[in-house]
């Protein structure tokens, strides 16, 4: 059986920030520890503040749970977008945080807002 990597590299190419974390760390834990450019609020897959584009390594994140899947579908997120508050890392990833005002986010009607 293959051993998990000793250290996992998280890179934000646009800002040049990076850090090394342990296998199964969460992106929110890494953000808190290394001041990564991800903002978050609810940590419950509700507010979408933490929406992040996965540029590389989508397969190296934990699978979306039911709540994350529902929220991402509600806001019409692209297939490579994840809610960082729900992700554990199992291998190297390259990420780009999507601020709440970023035009890459699709506008949603007030009826669709998961809040
Ligand atoms: S912090 Fe609210 S959805 Fe992730």
For residue range 43-101, list pLDDT tens digits in order: 999 999 999 999 999 999 999 999 999 999 999 999 999 999 999 999 999 999 999 99
- In this structure, the residues whose C-beta lies within 6 A of any atom of ligand 1 are 40-43, 45-50, 83, 85
Cα separation, 60 vs 96, in Å, equals 15
Query: Under CATH, domain 8-97 is a member of which superfamily?
Result: Beta-grasp domain (3.10.20.30)
For residue range 20-47, list pLDDT tens digits in order: 999 999 999 999 999 999 999 999 999 9
Residue 66 CB neighbours (<10 A): 8
For the CA of 84, the closest atom of ligand 1 is 4
Q: Where are the domains of the chain?
A: 8-97
Choice from 46, 64, 68, 115 to test ligand 1 binding pocket (greatest atom count within 8 A of CB): 46
The CA-atom distances, in angstroms, between 74 and each of 26, 46, 78, 93 are 23, 10, 11, 25
Eight-class DSSP state of 101: T
| pTM, two decimal places | 0.90
């Amino acid at each position: 059986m293959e051993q998990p990597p000793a250290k996992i590299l998280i890179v934000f190419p646009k800002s040049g920030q990076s850090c090394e974390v342990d296998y199964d760390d969460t992106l929110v834990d890494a953000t808190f520890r290394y001041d990564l450019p991800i903002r978050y609020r609810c940590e419950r897959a509700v507010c979408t503040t933490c929406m992040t584009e996965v540029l590389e390594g989508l397969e190296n994140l934990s699978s979306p749970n039911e709540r994350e899947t529902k929220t991402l579908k509600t806001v019409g997120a692209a297939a490579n977008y994840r809610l960082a508050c729900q992700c554990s890392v199992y291998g190297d990833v390259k990420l780009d945080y999507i601020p709440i005002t970023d035009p890459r986010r699709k506008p949603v009607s007030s009826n669709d807002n998961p809040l």
